[in-house]
Structure formats: C-alpha cells, structure tokens
Structure 1
Amino acid sequence: MCLVCGSPEAEPHFGGISCRACAAFFRRYFHSKKVFTRCTCKTRYTNSHPCRNCRIVKCFAAGMKPDKVQATRDKHSKKSLENSPTGTLPSLLSARIVSRDSSSLTFATSNWREFEILRDKMNGGKIGYMNIFQLSSTVRQDIELTWKMVYNLFPATVNLEDSDKSALLRNFQLKLWQIEPILENIENAEKYAMMDAEEFENLIVHFYEGTFPKGQELSKTEILKIFQPIWIYYYTKMVLPIVYMDLERAELMAIIWLLFFDNGYTNISPDCMEMCQNIKKVILRELKNYQNEKDFDDMRFIETIETLQLIERGEKKFMEEMMICEMHNVRIHDDFKAILKESKL
C-alpha cells in the first residue's frame, strides 16, 4: 500500500514505499521552480490527492529522500546530445539502463537491528544464555515482533488473509533458529574463532541441561555423545561456509527475506504464493543492484543465493534434532511443538 495516498499498488521509490504517481510527484517537486506555501486541502475534492504541501510532507514521512532523486531527464538529454558526435541521442539498444535501487535492503537492515534489540530487551538480555525450553518459549513474542517488522518492510502484506499471515510467520520460526547462529558468528567472529573445545562443549551442554524430567536427566557425557555431532554439522556445514563468504548486512537481509517469502510452502493460499513470488523478485533485483553498486564479482550473486540451500539443509537437520530431543524427553514448549508438528504434515 502506498504510504502517501493509500493506493494498493506500491513499491520502493526514493527510499520510501509509494505508488508510481506519488513517486512521480516527489520527483517533479524537486525539479520544479514553484514554491508551495499554502494548504488547499479544504477546497479540494473529497477523493482527490492532498494538496502539494501535505502530499510532500507525507512523502517525507514515508521515508522518501531528495538525494535519491536523479537529475532531470532534460539535463541528461542535453548532455547526451552535446557529447554525441552526430548531434543525436544514442540508440536505446546500445544503452544499458540498470535500476540501482536497493532501498528495501537498507531499510531492512535497520528494522532487523530494531527487532534484535526489542527481542533481547523483552527477554531480559538473556537470549544468548537460554536453554532449548526457554528459547522455544519465546515463539509467540517472536511471531508478534516478526509481523511488525514484515508490515514495516512490506506494507502490501496487510492485505493477506489471517491464515496466510499466520502460516508465513510460523514457517519462518524454524528458519529463524538457523539464521540466528549465523548472524551471531558473523558479529562475534573473533570470539568464536578463539573458542576452544571445552567452551564449545559447555555451550552444547548448557543448551540441554535443565530440560529433562526429574529422574531422566542425561549426564554431560551423554548430552555430548547425542548432540555434539549435530552441532558440529551445523557449524562446519552451514554456519562457517556462510561466515567465510564475508557477506554484508544488506546481503544477509536479502537472504532472510527470501527465506521468509518462500512461495513453496504448502500451507499458504495461491494468492499468497503469488505475492511471495512477486516480493522475491523485488528482493532479488535489489540484491543484484546492491552488489552491482559495490562492484562485486558477478559470481557473488549466485553464491549468495546458494546460501538458501545451506540453510534449508540446516533446517532438515534441525528437524532431526527435534526428533532426537523427543526420544530423550527434552522439554520443548508446546507452542513450538505445534509448529514442529505442522511442518511434518
């Protein structure tokens, strides 16, 4: 939805979300020599756009930025004519016009940071110290925080049916458990590089200790024997390969939202599948634009997309881990159990 006029068809323009008409208005506003100083909304038709003054204020509130407005086409055309040896415009067939917009990924970065801060605050700063039961108990608040973030980034999702919203959010929770250790290792690379075998083992034991029914506790040795191979798989086969890619934050955001808007889910409607597919196209385009701006190697785009396969394999291994937890009576919160059960259907 356009954040300026409310039009149902909107996309990123100049750093904000708007329809093409409001984007064109924003561009014209900064190319025009006219100055608008008086609000005329009271004298306008009920269903018309707000006056220029109010409309430009809404554009700014939607996040649109003047420095993202390119020079006028007339100036570009004049410059091209002057530089052309024949005095004519170069052929469009020989020109390579590439959209460089990657504003959604930039916006996603700040939104994800806010999500992390709020999530940590709501859990008393103990997210990184929780065992598996405590962490699985946060699923409801995670879903609520995720939805706020999704709506801020992709306002069109407000039109989804409640069943589709719920399904996308629940599906994403399993992926969130794969994403977190990757981001944690990237942000604290030095800490994990210096971690010795004993510290790694203590991390594993702490994650499961205190989650067994009385009288069915496993010893430290038993916990490591059962779960350490899974953790080593995660670390060597999923986390480290992505960490070694040295991806920037915007690229990581692209991966996260490509995972969220997976149109291959079986528990969403055809309309939701189509919306997911369209949003994924926008994300992929912005990812390519971002990497072009950074002058990255062309293979980086392919390698970035391939991380999705690594995370999906990690998710399958995670489901195996949950089955092993069930076999050994590890306590997991009922809310998270319901998501696990749904993913098996």
Structure 2
Amino acid sequence: MVSIDEVARVAGVSTATVSRALSGRGHVSLAAKTKVQAAAKGLGYVVSASASSLASGRTRNIGVLVPFLDRWFFSTVLSGIASALMRRGYDITLYALSADRDERRDVFDTFLRRQRVDGVIAISLELGEDETGRLLELGMPVIAIGGPNPRLTTLTVDDLAVARLATEHLLTLGHRDIAHIGASPEFDVDFHVPTHRRQGFEQALSDAGIEVRPSLFEPADFTIEGGFRAAKQLLGKPGGRPTAIFAASDEMAIGALLAARELGYRVPEDLSVVGIDGHELGEFFRLTTVDQFPQGQGERAADAILAELEAKDAHAEPAAHEPGELPYDLIVRGSTARLLA
C-alpha cells in the first residue's frame, strides 16, 4: 500500500506539504500542489477518509436534504451539487425528506447528529422553525435552495417573475386566450412554487387588461403524463379553445405538445406552448422555456457551503443570512409564434 512518505519522496516535498495539498487545508504553492497531485496520481495514492477526518476534524462530506429523488428538477440540482463537491474532494450523503413527521424527526434528531457531515444543503424544502433550529444547533453551515428562510443563507428564484416572463412572452406574440397548466393542491407543498407561478401568470394577464378565466386553468402533477392529460382537457372543452398554453414546468409543457399533436393541432401555428425549468429534453422538442439553470443552482449551493466552511476554518465572520437571487432566462425556440390573424 502506497504511503504518504512515498508521495512526498516522489514529489520532492515534505509529508506536511503533501497533507496540506491533498486535504485542501493550509497554504500550498500552486507548483507544489501540482507536483503532489501528479505524484499521488502516479502512485495511486488516495487519502484515507478516516485519517483525514481525525487530523482535520472534517469528514469532507456534505449532507443534502431533498424532497424527491425521482423528479428531473431535483436530480439535476443534485447533479450540480455532486459535480461541484467532487471537484473539491467532497462526498455527499442524501437524506430524502418526506412529509411524514416521524421520518423527518429521525433525520434531524438522529442522522444529522451523528456528525458524519460538515454541512447541509436543503433543496426546495420549507423547514419549520423547530427543524431550522435543530439544524443551527449542529453548528455547521447550512445552505437552502428555495425560500426565503430568514435564519438561513438561501438561494432563491423569483417564481412570480419567472411566470410573468413566460406569460408576457405569449402576450407579446399577440395571444389573449392563454391557458395555464399548474398543480393540484397535493403538489403545492413547501414554498408553494405552483401557486406563485399561477399568481405571476394571472398578474401578467391582469396587467394586460385580460380577464382571468378559471376555465383556462387545469391542474396536473408536474409530469409529462400529467401535462398530456391536462392539455387534452383544455383543448377538448367545448367553446373557444386557447391559442397558447403556459405550463408551470417543462415536463408538463412537453406533455401539452404531445397532446396537441395527438389532437391534430400544429405547434406553433395552431397552438403556442411555453414551460419553465430548462429541461434537457426541451431542445429536442424545440420547447420555448424560462430556464432556471437547475444544475447551476446545485453548483452555486455547493460553492456557497464550501465558502462558509473555509471561512469557518479561517475563523472569519460568518456570512450574513441574506438571500441570493438565482438567475433565469427566456429561451425562445420553435414551440411559440405570433398569433395568426
């Protein structure tokens, strides 16, 4: 088994320099760090996690709280977190938080208190006062994606503004009969993202002097299948059909595209469709969307928590708990077009 002494000999540095270079703790010149990394790679040397933890007081492991593991948005944010942490030599431990109170209590009372993580990232979870307090009692950095939570450092997307942008795009194209696929109450949990997106949609219509018509709203479950069923309802109702659909997620928007195709409507000639998220399938379906860069959200959260850990190691003042606005951008593709007279 390769030892740290062998790495030091090959790199031509001291064992202390090897330790600092591979642990990320303490100053090491770029030249020395490059030599150490090359020597370690050539010899197949890997730092012992347990030894590193004992020496540094760090597990080099970040706990991630997530409500769903089987949804594209959450898995993509998680991918961003994992990629950014891996580049810095950190692992992640996942904690799936359901709505079950006993399960959530176990996570906060037992799992996180085992001190196997250096910090916690919470993805789109509305933490109660008691849960937030228990996290803070751990004495480790906590970053929340979604919010706000005045007691935590949060990274947030303005869902009202995101929805307004999507709706205003359709209005600019001359559409007035615009339908909305949102969420049923059981999916409107935590920070009530679907409600905020519906409110942004309705505000944009009201500002344009257009009456909000309940008949042009259909709930779904943020899946392609749910969007397909909702769009068929909207397009199959008697009376005037919508000329455009704004779906609260790209997956539901893709479902709407498939429903329109099945019913014989041309997109965008007969029906314009816009979604939200920046789904990887969006380009394939030529879907117009408001991209909220979910992978970038994860990378930014990872960078933020590592910055707090470094500040803590340097005995610097902790960062203020001010929310950070996450970016979003309208990506216009082939699923929207000007309303034909």
If the length of structure 1 is used for normalisation, what is the TM-score? Answer: 0.25
Which of 1 and 2 has higher RCO (CA within 8 Å, sep 6+)?
Answer: 1
Q: Which has the higher helix share?
A: 1
